[in-house]
Structure 1
Amino acid sequence: METPVTKPSSVLYASLAASPPRIESADGNYLFTDDGASIFDASGGAAVACIGHNNSRVKRAVANQLDKISYCFSPWFSTSAYENLAQYLTASTNGEMEKVFVVGSGAEAVEAALKMARQYYLELPEPQPQRCRFIARDRSYHGNTLGSLSLSGHKARRTPFEPLLSQQFSHVSPCYAYRGKKQGEGDDQYTSRLAQELEDEFQRVGPSKVCGFVAETVAGLTLGGVAATPGYLKAMKEVCDRHGALFILDEAGMGRTGTLHAWEQEGVVPHLQTVAKGLGAGYAAIGALMVHKDVVDVFSKGSKAFVHFQTYHGHPLACAAAYEVQQVIKDEDLVSNCHKMGEYLGRLLSKRLGSHHNVGDVRGRGLLWGVELVKDKATKTPFPAQDKIAPAIHAAGLSKFSISLIPGGGVADGTHGDVMVITPAYNINEADAQLIVEKAALAIEHVLGPARPSRL
């Protein structure tokens, strides 16, 4: 009997030299491959599958929407699915964010935010057409389209395309206490120094030219679960307010950090907010731009039109899926579970890995956690990028310990520095958290060895 010939894949994978495991099905926290293996999904893909896989309520909602209408062009028509999702999102902010523009991804939401910020200054009673610049942060990530990549401070992803990127974007330091704080510097001093750096950048490019400052409320993969120091975002907003610029937050989580909107914990409200990953939980490709009532008011008194649309914006199937995802999160009280299980997961990670000689920092908020890996713990010296430590741990997790984690690189300086990020579903329990930590630790120890006993 002849062995069947396997045709090469026609898919353009991330690496042309490798073929990823083929997932045939998924249920709950598990992915099932075509060769019968089961993998615990502790990453939710890219922190997306936040209510687990194969949820019957969401599947039913999508099927019901298919029986009604699968597509119409949103500039011409509306649907109940779009209206319901937008109403839910605005209500979730107590009306602070008054309008919602639904798109197909986080990057599209960021593109829409950049355009809206620019148009906002043209809509003012006394227009400010000179405003065309944006300030973001180093080692940030806002998407891979040319506009969102121009905004991003992710060196490795930017470098091949630098000649194509806009020069209207500049970057300041991230709020990254593990590496950014000076010896003996407290949170207040550190925050003040970063606020002054933002002020200095406004002055350098011209305060009247800046449309806005854009930041991730809690930094994701590019820094690895880094929450801002107390008062940081409030201080950044004060700089923006001083110069009449918009304060724009890029949030992917929708509940992951322990509140539905991460800014609720920070004492600030953004002028523009983008959301994606946790909005649709992977059941549909979706992102959204949420617009503060003050910005809406300017448009209402001006042209009354946002000069932007996309073929699939406001897609009924995506909206129906996302709305039901949000109802599952609400009905099952999963935001509270993110807070409760996040604290438990953090304690387990610190206890199991905190003493490892190559673990420099364990940090996070809610169910977004990062474990930063260093060559030398005392000096915080990162491993060289060519060692590919995080990718090796990710590969070991998949092949040897049946767990999916997220590997990140460049956290130390944009090129070097490894981090493993853990972003499980919002509905995990204590047993799941214990399993995640043990398997993650085994994958790290497989590559870096077990913790060495401390010297006397």
Structure 2
Amino acid sequence: MGASVLYTKITQRPPAIVRSDGHYLETDDGRRIFDASGGAAVACLGHNDPRVKQAIMAQLDKTAYIYAPFFTVPAAEEIATFLTESTGGKMQKVFIVSSGTEAIEASLKMARQYFTELPNPQWQRTRFIARRQSYHGNTLGSLGAGGHKVRRAIFEPILATNVSHVSPCYPYRDMREGEGEAEYVGRLAEELEAEFQRVGPETVCAFVAETMCGTTLGCVPAVPGYFKAMKEVCDRHGALLILDEVMSGMGRTGTLHAWEQEGVVPDLQTIAKGLGAGYAPVGALLVGSRVAEALTRGTGSFTHSQTYQGHPIACATACAVQKIIRDDNLLANVREQGPYLGKLLKERLGNHKNIGDVRGRGLFWALEFVKDKTTKEPFPAADGIAQKVHRTGLQKEHCISVIPGAGVADGKNGDIVQIAPAYNISRADIELIVDRVEGVINAVFGAE
């Protein structure tokens, strides 16, 4: 029977998953694939957890759907309270949506509205500054905020023109020879300051950045002091700091919020993937005190709504997932197993002739592939290296799923794969992951 599904590659049907359990995905042809990517760094509890399913069923027995502008439900109140309390009250309000992209859209609107709600409204604030090789979602607004050349390319003529981009924090490729971390941070801060000046500091709503970069750069932890320096530039000009933690947040890097390790508090924060662990489509915008108080004193409302905001099933799912992360002490496990994963990857693959960098934090790691280890020359985009590694991993002799990413070097060329397993991973699981990943690398590139 012909396929009616519009696949990512229209004529290529991907493996059909008929069952999932724990760390494994079972295909209709009998493969048991170890899900070392958590899908897209989503399935942070693994698959088929009975506690989450029970919570979903319990919510279905109460209320399946309400329209949030008209009503609220206990599950929405509970997850919002949990999230604000998890920040010590630094983030005061929570707007619950169905995806990370939707959370980004809401953050851009919220940033704009904030400046219109001030006692002396700043209507000229219409611009955003983001970073190259970044990704913030695939709707027109969020894609316009992102800085990934290939994903933007065909849509460029219909994207908003009020976003400009500066360099990412990418020491592997961008730190100069002999340059220290403090000097590098200073140079990036000067670049951001120069961009504020170029577009007019009084026109900028916010600087938007992933706290720890995802697939379009490959799990790059910020250099110490980077986000403090970026926030200082924003504060100097009265602009907001928006941190995108859709992929890196909710425990992925070892703390519930990735910004906790950076010594900054954002004005707006987006979360999604680890919030509901894939059991329901759910994301959220967390609103800092500065913004929340301005809206409360102003119009008292947010000029934005969505049909499925605050969806009861999604909220109940998020509540259950976050209770499991807390009760099973999974953040401590991320902090314990993450360094072990990084250590094994570096020991087993760091010297491979086609791996230029092994980097990450928590259970969020990437391998960057290079054609030449000395010059860091990337493979040309046409070679499709990242996708080739991903596809090879799915073959029956390897049976492991990793996340491919491309364009990391310059927006077009440069390949990585990410490893982002579930938070309840064991030491033995990590050893299995590294064994299988090593087998995949050797199959694609040849042994060292």
On whether the aligned pair clears a TM of 0.5, the verdict is yes
Q: 1:359 aligns with which of 355, 359, 382?
A: 355
Paired amino acid for 1:229: V
Matches within 5 A, 1:305-454: 305-399=301-395, 400-451=397-448
Q: 1:151 and 1:296 mapped to 2: Cα distance?
A: 22
What are the residue-to-residue correspondences of 1:18-97 with 2, within 5 Å?
A: 18-97=12-91
Q: How far apart, in 2, do the equivalents of 1:240 and 1:448 lie? A: 44
CA distance in structure 1 between the partners assigned to 2:309 and 2:382 by the alignment: 40
Q: Which residue of structure 1 aligns with residue 146 of structure 2?
A: 152
1:136 aligns with 130
- Counterpart CA distance in 2 for 1:33 and 1:164 is 39
For 2:29 and 2:11, the matched residues in 1 are separated by 20
Q: 1:176-325 maps to which residues of 2 (within 5 A)?
A: 176-252=170-246, 253-325=249-321
CA distance in 2, matches of 1:146, 1:390: 26
SS at match of 1:218: coil
Q: What amino acid sits opposite 1:206 in the alignment?
A: G
Identity of aligned residues (%): 62
4+ residue segments displaced more than 6 Å: none
Give the Å deviation of 1:221.
Answer: 0.6
Once residues 35 and 387 of structure 2 are traced to their aligned partners in structure 1, the CA distance between those partners, rounded to angstroms, is 16
Q: For the residues of structure 2 that align with 1:198 and 1:128, how far apart are their CA atoms?
A: 21
What do residues 229-258 of structure 1 show as CA deviations (whole Å, max 9, x unaligned)? 000000000000000000110002310101
SS of the residue 1:378 aligns to: coil
Distance 1:227 1:72 in 2: 39
SS at match of 1:31: strand
* SS of residue matched to 2:391: helix
The whole-number CA distance in structure 1 between the counterparts of 2:436 and 2:189 is 40
Return the offset for 1:17: 2.5
SS at match of 2:67: coil
Work out the CA distance in 2 between the residues paired with 1:96 and 1:165: 33
User: In the comparison of the two structures, how many residue pairs are matched?
Assistant: 445
Question: Shift in Å at residue 336 of structure 1?
Answer: 1.1
State how far apart, in whole Å, the 2-side matches of 1:289 and 1:170 are. 22
Question: Could you tell me which amino acid in structure 2 is paired with residue 310 of structure 1?
Answer: Q
| Counterparts of 1:231 and 1:336, CA distance in 2 | 24
In 1: Cα distance, 2:168 partner to 2:25 partner: 34
Secondary structure of 1:314 counterpart? coil
Letter in 2 for 1:420: V
SS for the counterpart of 2:433 is: helix
Q: Distance in 1 between matches of 2:440 and 2:31?
A: 17
Residue 127 (1) aligns with residue 127 (2): no
Distance in 1 between residues matched to 2:383 and 2:303, nearest whole Å: 47
Shift of 1:55: 0.5
Counterpart Cα distance in 1 of 2:31 and 2:369? 28
What secondary structure is seen at the aligned counterpart in 1 of 2:373?
Answer: coil
How far apart, CA to CA, are the structure 1 residues paired with 2:99 and 2:77?
A: 18
Q: What's the CA shift for 1:339?
A: 1.1
Structure 2 residue 114 is the aligned partner of structure 1 residue 117: no
CA distance in 1, matches of 2:445, 2:426: 28
Deviation digits for residues 267-309 of structure 1 (CA, Å, limit 9, x no counterpart): 1000000001100000000110000112111111100010000
CA distance in 2, matches of 1:336, 1:221: 24
Cα distance in 2 for partners of 1:149, 1:330 equals: 34
- Name the SS for the 1:227 alignment partner: coil
Q: Deviations over 1:313-341 (max 9, x none)?
A: 00000000011000000011111111110
User: Residues 120-160 of structure 1, C-alpha deviation per residue, up to 9 Å, x if partnerless?
Assistant: 00000000000000000000000000000000001111001
TM-score, length basis structure 2: 0.99
Residue aligning to 2:97: 103
Alignment correspondent of 1:4: none
